[in-house]
Amino acid sequence: MYKKKYPRKQFDKDLIFGVHPVLEALKAKKDIDTVLFQNNLRHDSIFEILSLCKAQRIPTAKVPVEKLNRVTQKKHQGVICFLSPISFSNLGNLIPMIYEKGEVPLILILDRITDVRNFGAIVRTAECAGVHAIVVPNRGKARIGSDAFKTSAGALNHIPICREPSLKNTIDFLQKSGLQIVACTEKTQSQIYDAPLHEPTAIVLGSEQDGIAPELLELADFQVKIPLLGQIESLNVSVANGVILYEAVRQRQP
């Protein structure tokens, strides 16, 4: 099971805690990254918070009280809400808008990339390369807070981030919208130069530890790898991101 650490000092400016403050933040539809609950809480206010999170597609997690205490030593009442510095975008609305502008869609899908610095670096490169949107899963992603914002050098201000409950369903939607799915994986003989990245494309990148989930790999129209000529068997995922995105940029030049 995926486990994420929540060091207290990192989130002093990014969190709301306590049942009623979190409830009010949800009712006001604040931009929220995730909500943590003490795992043995059972009362009406908690159920209301969970219901609002589900309606607004906000990720939740039940954790031991010790984890909540590591985030803040103040009276959290078993509920902590992490704010997001950005507003999440709707992918279903973005794709038609890209086509209407006469542009060729270039979407980036990040599967299980949880390191905040890698995520920020990926966003920065993607914005520079003209990516139209970045898709992340509801769970198993880097927390989009002040650290990610800083590492992206402000790029999070300029590129839409779409948070989706199912990457499998997202890939199906993109394929039906005319995009090809290109998965970057070492489990293939084809290279990034073999894929027609000048076409409407969604590129999928996985974590350095686990790669892309098998069920997503099976859905890809192309599986490609970056040629490695040295002794090291893999690239940092943010570096790999830059290599494949700028191959797409090269192919899209007039």
- Residue pair 110/104 in contact by the 8 Å Cβ criterion: no
The 10 Å Cβ neighbour count of residue 67 is 17
| Cα–Cα dist 83/238, whole Å | 24
Could you say which DSSP state residue 152 is in? T
- Residue pair 187/220 in contact by the 8 Å Cβ criterion: no
| Percent over 90 (pLDDT), the chain | 78
Residue with tokens 């390369």: 129
Characterize the bridge pairing of strands 161-164 and 180-184.
unpaired
Output the pLDDT for position 9. Answer: 43
Q: What angle do CA 73, 151, 233 make, to 5 degrees?
A: 110
Asked whether the predicted pLDDT for residue 5 surpasses 50, the reply is no
Cα 206 off chain centre by: 11
For the chain, give percent helix, strand, coil, nearest 5: 40, 20, 40
Cα 136 off chain centre by: 3
Report which of 176, 210, 180 is spatially closest to residue 195, judged by C-alpha positions.
Answer: 180
For 31-88, the pLDDT digits (tens) are 999 999 999 888 889 999 999 999 998 999 999 999 999 998 899 999 999 999 899 9
Report which of 218, 191, 216, 219 is spatially closest to residue 205, judged by C-alpha positions.
Answer: 216
Q: What domains sit in the chain, N to C, each tagged with a CATH number?
A: 8-83 (3.30.1330.30), 91-251 (3.40.1280.10)
Tell me the pTM.
Answer: 0.87
- Residue pair 235/205 in contact by the 8 Å Cβ criterion: no
For 174-193, the pLDDT digits (tens) are 999 999 999 999 989 999 99
Asked whether the predicted pLDDT for residue 194 surpasses 50, the reply is yes
Output the pLDDT for position 13. Answer: 63
End-to-end Cα spacing for the chain: 46
**67 three-class SS:** helix
Mean pLDDT of the region 138-167: 91
